[in-house]
Amino acid sequence: MRRFSRFGPARPAIATAVLVASCGSSATVLDTPVLGVDLSYVNEVEDCGGVYRDTAGETDPFAILAGQGANLVRARLWNDPDWTEYSTLEDVIRTFERAKAAGMATLLDFHYSDEWADPGRQTPPAAWAQLTAIDETAAALGEYTTGVLTSLDEAGVLPDMVQIGNEINGGLVKPAVGLDWDHDAPLLTAGIAAVRAMAETTGQEIAVMLHVAQPENGLAWFAEADEAGLDDFDVIGLSYYPQWSRFSVAELGNAVQRLGAAYQKQVLVVETGYPWTTETAGDTADNVLDQGLGQYPMTPEGQGTFMEDLTAAVVANGGMGTVYWEPAWLSTGCHTRWGQGSHWENATLFDFAGELHAGASYLGRSYPTQKAPDSTAVTSEDASADASSAADLTRLSAVMDDDAIRVSASVFGDFREWPGVITLAIGTAPGGGDGGRRPFDYAEATRPELVLETSFHDEPGLGYFSPALSEWRDGAWAERTFTGSVTVEETDGGGSTVVWTLPRGLVGESGPIELTLLTAGKGRAGDLEDSFGDEGEAMSGVAAVLSIGEEH
């Protein structure tokens, strides 16, 4: 366990610079690793009597965190909230002025709503509520984006990075969430175009981010975005909260590598957090983040170690770094819509009295220089590609006897070098369909009752593979004991085969069993259309379905 030995200004992490750019964009240079902090609540906390301090006597939270090594400040923006005076344009200007005074870069988080926008809600702002035609909404969004950026430029605080929407898993600016690219792509395109135009007009480099919550969702989301032709952006933003994600820290790192390699974008974990205590400050606001990971105690030291390991995993896999969500949201006498005080007081980098605590230790660490994304590490058009192309599926088969179900999948390349999650779905109700289940959308005719996820690791100490079996029960996935095995064998021609051996009793005596092999990213089952014909084509090249006993 690493210990934090000082609470005054720490030595900042060694930084390099990364050029963020994509086709048709203007590039921006940011210090990396990004060690960001979302300080959207600070102005409100201080206005409500909250006080911050460190052992060096500093009381400005921007200066305190910058002294520890933070180099970027994120701030959210609501269009026209009538329920708060904060996260308005004026409030964002105030936040960015403080960030720049402390020497930090800035990231603007457009919610495109008068309230919180997240995977479960993307409520249109009142000013746009009567717009029904998508071109009208896109025009309004573009004009609004331009107006905000113009005001920030006039105030001297034009941001270094802009995200078009917040946690847009289900799209943006809509009464009911759910991806609809005919609706969502024009809005995103309008927002991106406004940022590009402002960068050209001002001569200032501004990176554009698209932001999705949880890495397992991001893998599928950006594949769909790519198919929809949405590629004029610079940064893939991910929220990663272990409490709501199925991915471990190592698997998050793998997802960062896969996304960066697949789309040749930078990847930033733009929201994350971890509890430093299970206690409360005695107010009425319930703590939202109340679960941890077994290897990281819910203590200041455990929080710091979690953030250090997470940041190291992101950077080591080619990512830019991390942004801690609201490390300074202290409890005060002020109220939210749901109670008095803070709902995040147990996940801040300051204790209940406003003292910087050991969780901030990760900001002062040095992180290895990131490796550039490898464009051949995710997909290859060449079926005879070497192991760096990782996994083009060439064969899927399954047999069952009285004791076991054995499923094997063969690929070009080596499964053990595949930096991601392979999901085997087992369904006993063919044709049932159940889109939207975690961690993937089963868009075609399969209704899995069981999901076996397997990750292969080559990092020291992580082991050879880590399988996890879940069962769909009472409307949710529940972990189930797995007593089978997973093996990998090399095959001739530079390929490999993974074999799952599962207990026969898993599926009972129900009718025909369907198996679906899903991959978490773009094009990883590249030869399915050739191998499975219309069935493979219907599955959009990401799944293969067959009945027990058949072989393809």
- Cβ contacts of residue 104 below 8 Å, gap of 6+? 62, 66, 70, 71, 72, 73
Sign of CA dihedral 171, 198, 259, 379: positive
Nearest to 398 by CA among 280, 282, 527, 544: 544
Q: Is 326 part of the annotated catalytic residue set? A: no
Nearest to 233 by CA among 258, 212, 255: 212
- The token duo for 438 is 């975690």
Q: C-alpha distances in angstroms, 112 versus 72, 151, 212, 234, 337?
A: 22, 16, 15, 20, 20
Three-class DSSP category at 301: helix
Q: Is 489 part of the annotated catalytic residue set? A: no
- The token duo for 456 is 């292969």
With b for 16 or more beta-carbon neighbours within 10 A and e for fewer, the 113-147 pattern comes to bbbbbbbeebbbbeebeebeebeebbebbbebbbe
| Catalytically annotated residue among 271, 345, 449, 453 | 271
In single-letter form, the type of residue at position 28 comes to: T
Stretch (H or E) spanning 423: strand 421-427
Q: C-alpha distances in angstroms, 386 versus 348, 520, 528?
A: 46, 21, 19
Alpha helices in 203-352 (DSSP H): 215-227, 249-263, 300-316
| Catalytically annotated residue among 44, 58, 167, 449 | 167
The span from the CA of 316 to the CA of 345, in Å, is 30
- Cβ contacts of residue 202 below 8 Å, gap of 6+? 153, 158
- The token duo for 36 is 């960001």
Total residues belonging to the chain: 552
- Any idea which residues carry the catalytic annotation? 167, 271
